[in-house]
Structure 1
């Protein structure tokens, strides 16, 4: 194990990174918050996180990490694609933000030791975010369930969209279930996290988060079944419950899943497919094909792309796509090569969730919650730092007696 204990300030740094990735666009809040103010808070959180990480790791001790190294290469590629200013000066600002984000991860990598420390930080911080969502729902149900979003749950105190809330809820539910199976938390503490998060997830009607949670947990628990009796029991009960619910509440589940959409709208993934086809049909030069148009707001012709791979292709080109595929492949490959353990199961859940969500959500090419999820996976897959060998106590050296003195004593 790593004998260098994780300072408490590291949890604060992680919370500031999460605050930075909450974004500034979303539903209308109870108290109107100017977007400039929100951007000032989120960017200030990132600068503060980097400064605190630098203070706590003033000697710049870092651990080798393929994930952060590939992120650094992605940053370099993003700078190259953004210097042409096709996306305006905002592209360079986003590169600066990504540089601070990646630099903070490098500074925190010193405490990546394969333990669950960052998993707990992740759960606590996102539970606090969901606490603001629940508080907004209690304070103003109308603002939290607006007609503009089809009655789906949004953030009424901080502008959060239904997919964001669903993502946060699904991730902490999955991680808490795995901690419970690994006996790293008790049932009461797990229930405090899981039950309200499930309610909020259901109110968001977020299909991507729900599927990511179910499939990610299935893969993660499957990796524990050979070595954990608790995992085998949970998997058996979960399959039985899902089968009963699927049969008994098929109509209600279908209604929840369709969210009142027509068959045509559902088949086009709520209009996403039209944006994707238009993006791929856009003529591009060789430079744009390789490096993209520079970091932007993950939109095309004013419409959200909502696909990580196409967003990366549009902004960072095929080089960016290859780098994103590389760090997901590396993390997944390392996870498969590790022996069964709780850390490995949590990493598999996070990697699989991000891979599933990447089809209908953007974020793998820029500072985002998805990169933080994968950073937690990287911390779980890191090998523990070798402890320094114990030093032998100082023993006074025995004085050697000359031979002539020995002969004198004998004589």
Structure 2
């Protein structure tokens, strides 16, 4: 029995390590200036190396390649088809093919990890730990060099001073782990003291990033997730009531301060154009396209158009993977959301609803649903939460020894 528990703990640690490597891979290589300048080639080597290591470790822990049926990973696999067609047919070059290989390894690793998707909160905890470690590096950079962590280049918003992370990235990580931790407290899967250690500093970092998308995604996602628990959880009903009361008080007493934080010193015109994003979107939609480009896109790229970031997942997918890619990404959101709505109320369902709604909201002003990114990891956690219970997996089903029946007790007739 001790040997079996030891093997299970060892496997769990390896799976957690694989998840951490996937998180490292999706941190990206472009961002703010760091205290110690890091060559982009070195950062890319680390992030790509982490993906290769994640895939290799996943093979080590799952050598027989036992996977579970997953509509989410299956649709991601189908997304590789327009990615490859556009990258090869449009002559996008080595960079596009490299990104296709990266996406294939990413999806392959998720297939290997799907063996342990059992509807439990294991991957939620892995997710929180890994992104809290990332936020720890951000906090360390803020303490070591406040000037580098709050540069004028980003309007005094918090960036990664040790690893090149942008304010939207930091805001996203903080919002996601805050929401998941709040739900774990409601489900009594963690104590309030441990939760406060994660929630309080993450809220401070989120506020310093001035990231509107992450803040709205956090609030709306929590409202939907907690709303799914209201009928079955008294704690959810109490928190929902207090949240409504606090929101009303804040809207009345701190409206000017909240408005100033939300506008970030921008003019109404700049705010209306979503900090210039709308101009890029209009130019992208107005650009002429061939039939092949319309169906399959122009190949995986850096999510930019005309040298400017697209900052919209749907338009980025349309540009790189065409309307075929948009249909597949929409199917991912619809399938996950539909399965979540059909599940009975539970903590796993609430966490999945939070993650799905957050990704759907953030997709309007941030790219990432069509390529290896933190958003695909968020949705992978949601898929793990919506998977069949643990009893259906070979690892978690206890093996009951078959008892032999004595020959004298056997009978060919039933009397």
Query: Following TM superposition, by how much is the alpha carbon of 1:389 offset from its aligned partner in structure 2, in angstroms?
Result: 6.9
Query: Following TM superposition, by how much is the alpha carbon of 1:92 offset from its aligned partner in structure 2, in angstroms?
Result: 0.2
Query: Following TM superposition, by how much is the alpha carbon of 1:397 offset from its aligned partner in structure 2, in angstroms?
Result: 2.0
- The corresponding residue for 1:142 is 147
Structure 1 window deviating more from structure 2 (81-90 vs 240-249): it is 81-90
CA contact (8 A) 1:85 1:91 kept: no
Q: 1:263 aligns with which of 243, 246, 268?
A: 268
* 1:175 matches 2:185: no
CA deviations 1:145-195 (Å, max 9, x no partner) are 000000000000000000000000000000000000000000000000000
SS for the counterpart of 1:104 is: helix
Q: 1:328 aligns with which of 318, 324, 333?
A: 333
Rounded to whole Å, the distance in 2 between the matches of 1:134 and 1:239 is 30
Rounded to whole Å, the distance in 2 between the matches of 1:392 and 1:96 is 47
- The corresponding residue for 2:405 is 395
SS for the counterpart of 2:194 is: helix
- What do you get for the CA RMSD once the two structures are aligned? 1.5
Query: Following TM superposition, by how much is the alpha carbon of 1:394 offset from its aligned partner in structure 2, in angstroms?
Result: 2.3
1:47-66 equivalent positions in 2, closer than 5 A: 47-66=52-71
Rounded to whole Å, the distance in 2 between the matches of 1:151 and 1:255 is 14
- The corresponding residue for 2:38 is 33
* 1:43 matches 2:48: yes
CA contact (8 A) 1:126 1:168 kept: yes
- The corresponding residue for 2:362 is 357
Q: Which runs of 5+ in 1 are unaligned?
A: 401-411
Rounded to whole Å, the distance in 2 between the matches of 1:395 and 1:165 is 63
Q: Which runs of 5+ in 2 are unaligned?
A: 411-415
* 1:290 matches 2:295: yes
- The corresponding residue for 1:116 is 121
- The corresponding residue for 2:215 is 210
Rounded to whole Å, the distance in 2 between the matches of 1:27 and 1:390 is 56
CA deviations 1:329-386 (Å, max 9, x no partner) are 0000000000000000000000000000000000000000000000000000001242
Q: 1:239 aligns with which of 231, 244, 254?
A: 244
Rounded to whole Å, the distance in 1 between the matches of 2:398 and 2:46 is 42
Larger Rg: 1
The alignment of Structure 1 onto Structure 2 pairs a total of residues equal to 399
CA contact (8 A) 2:82 2:297 kept: no
What TM-score results when the alignment is normalised by the length of structure 1? 0.95
1:40-119 equivalent positions in 2, closer than 5 A: 40-119=45-124
